[in-house]
Amino acid sequence: MLRNVLPNWFFGVSATLILLLNTLVCGVVVFLLGLVKLILPIRFVSELLHFAYGVWCQGNKLALDVGCEQINMHIPQQVKPQGWYLLVANHISWLDIVVLSANRALPAPKFFLKDELKYVPFIGTGAWAMGMPFMKRASKAQVAKNPKLKGLDVARTKHSCRNFRQHPTTVINFAEGTRFTKAKQHKQQSGFKHLLKPKAGGTAFALEVLGEQLDGLLNTTIMYQSKDEHICRSFMLGQLHGVHVDISLIDIACVPQGCYQQDKQYRVQFQNYLNALWQNKDTQLSHLYLHYGKKGAVINEEAAPL
């Protein structure tokens, strides 16, 4: 094997260059096609957009194959490439986006993004061109001053999600809202060993927006093996030993649904449901760490070893 001959940094640098060039080239192409779509909103242009986006996903897979020694992705056979799914996952590193987008078994991955990201070159402009929804949530104080802002996210995102009906899609939501660190875990007083507290509102919101269009909920657990406490740095140096992704399919009929903002009873019910998923995920991560820990502890980008 080449890894027995060439130094690790060669694979890390090569993988990083692939990621950068892939994002640069595909980001420009997708943005330009997005401009064309504004002028000619026809299905052919939309198909070209999704083809270019698919090339970006394949480029991400190539980068992972080059930069990581071992990649294990478990996905149920029942997941259909032509389906529509909501994927909820724990969030460890910026690399999570690359990992999830590189899974060819999933329909095209789309993300709920913070509004500020629309101004990021290539990433934000590409997401805009693909019609991904940007979230601009109003605070409680803003809603108190202007009640019309309440529910504005729902209306805006429903409008943005119209394209999801035309192309099979996996909507990805990192329920914790931010990357895991020991500092954040301590500040939250999280009751989980390896996770932050999940924010139920975002997931319930996505369910409300997409409704009956979803074929299932994909409960996803991500885990890395790295001796470096910074996952991305470990990847760039060619020292990321393993990436492990486990996906379980939950029938959408088994997921509580309702109006999260207005129904207090449903709000409590869904919070309990998501917390139960996270408790099982925490146990699963403990087993993964125990099984793979001998080859390098799984460490977060900003945290000490777990």
pLDDT tens-digit readout, 250-298: 999 999 988 887 889 999 999 999 999 999 999 999 998 888 763 444 3
For 54-71, the pLDDT digits (tens) are 999 999 999 999 999 899
Closest CA to 297 of 279, 285, 282: 285
* Within-domain flag for 278: yes
Q: Which residues contact 35 (CB under 8 A, 6 or more apart)?
A: 129
| DSSP-derived pairing of the beta strands 240-251 and 216-226 | antiparallel
* Within-domain flag for 304: no
| CATH number of the domain to which 87 belongs | 3.40.1130
* Within-domain flag for 306: no
pLDDT at 217: 95
Among left, alpha and beta (phi > 0; psi -120 to 50; other), residue 251 is: beta
pLDDT at 306: 27
pLDDT at 154: 62
Number of structural domains found in the chain = 1
* Within-domain flag for 85: yes
What backbone phi and psi angles, to 5 degrees, belong to 216?
175, 170
d(CA 155, CA 148): 11
For the CA atoms of 69, 75, 80, 82, the dihedral, rounded to the nearest 10 degrees, stands at -40
* Within-domain flag for 10: yes
Its pTM stands at 0.85
d(CA 276, CA 260): 18
Structural domain that includes position 49: 2-295
